[in-house]
Amino acid sequence: MSNSIKVLAKMDSFEHEQVIFCQDKDTGLKAIIAIHDTTLGPALGGTRMWDYENEEEALEDVLRLSRGMTFKAAISGLELGGGKAVIIGDATKHKTKNLMKKFGKFVDTLSGKYITAEDVGMSTKDMEYVRMETKHVTGIPKSMGGSGDPSPVTAYGVFMGIKASSKFLWGDDNLKDKKILVQGIGHVGEYLVKYLSDEKANVFISDINQTKLDNVASKYDATIIDNDSVFDFDMDIYAPCALGGILNTSNINKLKCSIVCGGANNQFEDETRDSLHLKEKGIVFAPDFLVNSGGLINVYSELKGYNRDKALEQTKEIYNTTLDILKKSKEEGITSYSAALKIAKNRIEAKKL
Ligand code: NAD
């Protein structure tokens, strides 16, 4: 009894609509699906498989991530709500075809109120297994009528965010000769490097994977920076495209750039404290949940009958939205992070009227 009260109290504090706990003895599936808010449309968000220490950690993660999806969809002008699912377990050991199919069956019981997609610990193949049991899944391969890898579209959105931030700060969005560091040159980072090189920016890259670094450096004429000296490096724009939680008090103190705009999710260790710290240092921050929403826009387009050009056109709007948010932040003397959240929340409230 006390556990259920705790879950409801957590749902209350995050403002969730519904949380579904799924358990299957035969496959060992243990999953939680969180539906945060469906005011704007069905709750869409990926499924993450992770070896959580305990159920509480899994619940905390799915609640936090699904809430983030609500605001990402709202700020991007999509008719979508926010949701997310987590499967508890080590993806390299516990994931099987039958487990994924069983998960798909649970998703199907929600009749489209929750739509799933790929996230950490998932592959396109896993989404194919889910697709065998439910049509409420996106990000499936092009061969199955899906939209395929969303990363190029995500990178395009980040590129739009960088250009808008430059326009806001310097009155010009031309990136020629701007010193830009892309940290993390995986799926999103490498496509971003390509956009920046095409624009003749002065591109620097860092990663923990030397093979990738050598490969991208030779393909795009980018200069490699030691990953440990990123915060000692003098640059115009810093584009974090690796993992989340990269920015904290100690490295923001050292950071030498004018703009932070990158594809990584949840870049701050503490959103309120660290976004304020950047503002106080006079560094322009393009909110991550806005500029990396190209991937979501891409899967959203899949729901309407996929059209790559339309997805890119809608992603291009990230430019105008970023500019609006940066202006609002300046006018109201608030962080760009708060300005973006305000706009997202207003859109949801307006729909309720
Ligand atoms: P990825 O796994 O393909 O690439 C991540 C890269 O970061 C890898 O090259 C890895 O070696 C590097 N890396 C890991 N830890 C690092 C560290 N400590 N320092 C430097 N480099 C490090 O992932 P991705 O799909 O390119 O996603 C990158 C980020 O963007 C993630 O935070 C992801 O959540 C976010 N994101 C991705 C998409 C998408 O469409 N793929 C959409 C929205 C948000």
CATH number for 42: 3.40.50.10860
Pocket of ligand 1 (CB under 6 A): 150-151, 154, 183-189, 206-209, 212, 227, 241-244, 263-265, 292, 295
- Nearest-CA residue for atom 31 of ligand 1: 264
Q: How far is CA 155 from CA 124, 187, 288, in A?
A: 19, 9, 12
- Nearest-CA residue for atom 43 of ligand 1: 292
Rounded CA gap, 116 and 130, in Å? 9
Rounded CA gap, 132 and 105, in Å? 9
User: How many domains does the chain fold into?
Assistant: 2
**Which of 187, 227, 296 has the most ligand 1 atoms within 8 A of CB, as the residue to mutate?**
187
Q: To the nearest whole number, what is the mean pLDDT of the chain?
A: 95
Say how many Å lie between the CA of residue 348 and the centre of ligand 1: 29
Residues 128 and 199 in one domain: no
- What's the pTM value of the predicted model, to 2 decimals? 0.92
| pLDDT at site 304 | 84
Q: For residues 233, 236, 240 and 245, what is the CA-based torsion angle, rounded to 10 degrees?
A: 70
| pLDDT at site 221 | 85
Known catalytic residue at 6: no
In a domain, 6, yes or no: no
Residues 51 and 183 in one domain: no
Say how many Å lie between the CA of residue 189 and the centre of ligand 1: 7
| pLDDT at site 4 | 55
Residue ranges making up the domain that contains 130: 13-68+79-144
User: What sign does the dihedral 278-316-169-205 (CA atoms) show?
Assistant: positive
CATH number for 303: 3.40.50.720
CB 129 within 8 A of CB 104: yes
> Which atom of ligand 1 lies nearest, measured to the CA of 293?
43
Residues 290 and 346 in one domain: yes
**Which of 208, 293, 301 has the most ligand 1 atoms within 8 A of CB, as the residue to mutate?**
208
In a domain, 7, yes or no: no
> Which among 89, 114, 144 is the end of a domain?
144
Residues 257 and 140 in one domain: no
3-state SS, residue 201: coil
- Nearest-CA residue for atom 8 of ligand 1: 186
Cβ neighbours of residue 195 under 8 Å, at least 6 residues apart? Answer: 155, 156, 159
Q: What is the 3-state secondary structure (H, E, C) of 44-65?
A: ECCEEEECCCCHHHHHHHHHHH
Provide, for the chain, the percentages of residues in helix, strand and coil under a 3-state DSSP scheme, each rounded to the nearest 5. Answer: 50, 15, 30
CB 87 within 8 A of CB 158: no
Q: Which of 84, 163, 179, 279 is an active site residue? A: 84
Q: For residue 274, which of 255, 292, 290, 294 has the smallest C-alpha distance?
A: 255
Low-confidence ranges of the chain (pLDDT < 50): 1
Residues 122 and 206 in one domain: no
- Nearest-CA residue for atom 34 of ligand 1: 265
| Strands 43-44 vs 81-88: parallel, antiparallel or unpaired | parallel
> Which among 144, 173, 188 is the end of a domain?
144
In a domain, 1, yes or no: no
3-state SS, residue 101: helix
Q: What is the DSSP string of 169-193?
A: HHS----TT-EEEEE--SHHHHHHH
In a domain, 43, yes or no: yes
Q: Cα(first)–Cα(last) distance of the chain, in Å? A: 36
> Which atom of ligand 1 lies nearest, measured to the CA of 298?
40
In a domain, 251, yes or no: yes
| pLDDT at site 244 | 84
In a domain, 326, yes or no: yes
Residues 133 and 200 in one domain: no
3-state SS, residue 78: coil
Rounded CA gap, 325 and 342, in Å? 10
Say how many Å lie between the CA of residue 171 and the centre of ligand 1: 30
**Which of 75, 119, 190, 243 has the most ligand 1 atoms within 8 A of CB, as the residue to mutate?**
243
> Which among 115, 144, 173 is the end of a domain?
144
Say how many Å lie between the CA of residue 185 and the centre of ligand 1: 7
| Strands 81-88 vs 47-50: parallel, antiparallel or unpaired | parallel
Residues 134 and 157 in one domain: no
Say how many Å lie between the CA of residue 264 and the centre of ligand 1: 6
Residues 271 and 335 in one domain: yes
CB 252 within 8 A of CB 224: no
Residues 297 and 219 in one domain: yes
| pLDDT at site 1 | 46
3-state SS, residue 140: coil
In a domain, 8, yes or no: no
| pLDDT at site 3 | 54
- Nearest-CA residue for atom 20 of ligand 1: 207
- 197: tokens are 């090189």
Residues 275 and 306 in one domain: yes
Q: Give 181's strand partners.
A: 204, 238
**Which of 241, 247, 312 has the most ligand 1 atoms within 8 A of CB, as the residue to mutate?**
241
Rounded CA gap, 26 and 318, in Å? 45
Residues 312 and 249 in one domain: yes
Residues 233 and 344 in one domain: yes
In a domain, 5, yes or no: no
Rounded CA gap, 58 and 251, in Å? 28
Q: Give 29's strand partners.
A: 24
Rounded CA gap, 298 and 64, in Å? 22
Rounded CA gap, 153 and 252, in Å? 28
